Structure 1
Amino acid sequence: MRRTALLAASAALVAGVLAWTAGAAPSAPAAFAHPGVTVSQGQLDFTRSKVNAGAEPWKGAFDQMMASKYADLNRTPTPRAVVECGSYSNPDHGCTDEREDAIAAYTHALAWYVTRDERHARKAIGLMDAWSAVIRDHTNSNAPLQTGWAGSSWPRAAEIIKHTYTGTWANSGRFAAMLRTVYPPEIINGSNSNGNWELSMMEAAVGISVFLEDKASYDKAMAKFRTRTAAYVYLESDGVLPKTVPSQNLNTREKIVKYWQGQSTFVKRPGAGRDPGARSARRAASEFRQRVRRSRVRDPNLLPSGRRVDAAQSADHRKTMGPWHAASFGSSSARHRASARRTRCCPRRIAASGGARTAWWASSNTTDGPAPR
């Protein structure tokens, strides 16, 4: 029940973000709300009340967080002046250390807010101070991704401490300077690599912009986020091909298909703006089915595409097709089920890159050959 609600909320969030990306150009608010990176004041207060009341799942999640290595008050930071990260973090010269210290700082900031135990606030400050005193650069091939990963966690911690902790943070200015000079130069202009790189980088850029109240950087990061998100998740309304990021020069179908790791069939409403390149194949299949219906003789060894198979293969084909019909047309009218049987069409599950975006194609033009594009 809880999982279903979470999945529904996640789906609604993704849909909302994608719909939002089609709107007007983003602009920074007249005044930034603090704390305002990942979690707001209202969310922090709500979660704290639930944890203190012992309500689930908040209390259980909080207990897990407090039992993790990131909440250890004895943690010793391991900063480096230059963090060098190669592909797959090989070499790993400070990559894991930086990411985990940043996560630990955020963990202690959350722990401080919920428990009001100042030891956690001071530990978060100690971790942030250790790195702001030392780090100067990120290098090697994974530098942009590494900068995005660590840079998304640091401002989360800093926002909570700066705007809720009543104790002193003497080096907060130095930490702000670190966020201003070390991270944005590596991430603010985005990436022409994979979408997950740029989205991670923009998450960091937006968070840093909020902490620094840098409206120009916020607008730039949000514009890239909106463009990349629209190209990262394919929607039926996008048309016969996914949206692209202009700077990647994916200006042909061949380039787009290659970028989508060979995915060549995308979801499209039957009859709405289909790819002209598939029209002749659909027309041929339609003419073949008409000839079969006119003859009123069905050859059991002849597939809708016109390919002939032996009796054993035909039996296997019918067995294979059966479950698809049962699953897909079980709730349809008898007329639709009969039509499906006559044309031997079956819905084709079209999975986009990563398997996260799927839809059903229920078209009479779908045969045992390639799915319509």
Structure 2
Amino acid sequence: MNRIWSLAAGHACVDFYQGAVPALVPFLVAGRGYGYVAVSGIVLAATLSSSVVQPLFGVLTDRWRMPWLIPLATVVAGTGVALAGVTGSYALTWLAAALSGLGVAAYHPESARLARIASEGGHVPMSWFSLGGTLGFASAPVLVTPLLSVWGLGASPLLAAPAVLGAALTLPAVRALTGARGGSRAVVRAGGRDDWPGFARLTLVIVFRSVVYVGLSAFVALYVGGGAAGAVALFVLFAGGAAGTVLGGRLAVRWGRVPAMRVAYAAAVPAVAGVVLAPGPLVYVFVAASSVALYVPFSLHVTLGQDFLPNRVGTAGGVTLGLAVSVGGLTSPLVGAMAEATTLRTALACLIAFPVLAWLLARTLREPAPEPA
């Protein structure tokens, strides 16, 4: 269990940098005069490099054991953000953001494989590993904003500290789980058949979940009026995600992964509808309910993907933790365009369809067959 805690802490330190790049945006606008298009390009550089490239690292870790990639990727993610605030040109800032995203991409497939070993197949320990990433992402604005507000963009090298801490925390667990001499040996296949159709359906479920969650996180603060009300809405959204991640592991133990996933997506439908339709302060209740329901399946997606592809757990981790999750970030501009063409309420109402689609598709999933003894 101590190894899972170490990996979860490292996961928090890495995913901190996924939230740190968007948190830099206001300071890049104020300090360098970047426009909306320019800063959106920087965020997109980090998003694309952390998501699109992640399955490639999954393929590589399926062929070779690369435990050394975990501390190295952590440091690379931190180095990119540290450099982004002190580079002298837009092009270098863009490259620094892309470098940080590359580190995030390199980290997840191998760390998910080791977390699976450390958890010994347990759903609750795997939910703790996933929780680390959720908390790391949510903590980024809380740490980045005060630091740069006081000392400015020139203090961005201090943001490398979580990377150093994360590498130091995970290195003992990585060594214990892999052995000092196991770094470059070819991965032994687990046996069993890879269920690509099942994995493809699971990937679509994750995409639908990503669209609605990222859409809410991007616009719920504006929807409730911005300012302090918006900050409270975001806090409730992130806190609900943390609670849902832990709850998901426990529900999987009680009901099984696929039934827990179905119930969660069914509950997400009225919860997201309530965000759009609820009057006054009641909206916060539905924001919390939406977040919990959408995060219950989060860690279950990872273990299900690995069981659907028992011979390619790195690829499974790269898709379930990276590519499919990040698709929502690519669709959020469409939600913004819909809001400008109609109203923000109408745009958010369109999100209700996505948990419905996720629930319908989850009904076609079955628990992967156990591996032969």
> RCO (CA 8 Å, sep 6+): is it higher in 1 or 2?
2
TM-score bracket for this pair, using the shorter chain length:
under 0.3
Q: Which has the higher helix share?
A: 2
Q: Which protein shows a greater Rg?
A: 1
Q: What's the TM-score once normalised by structure 1's chain length? A: 0.24
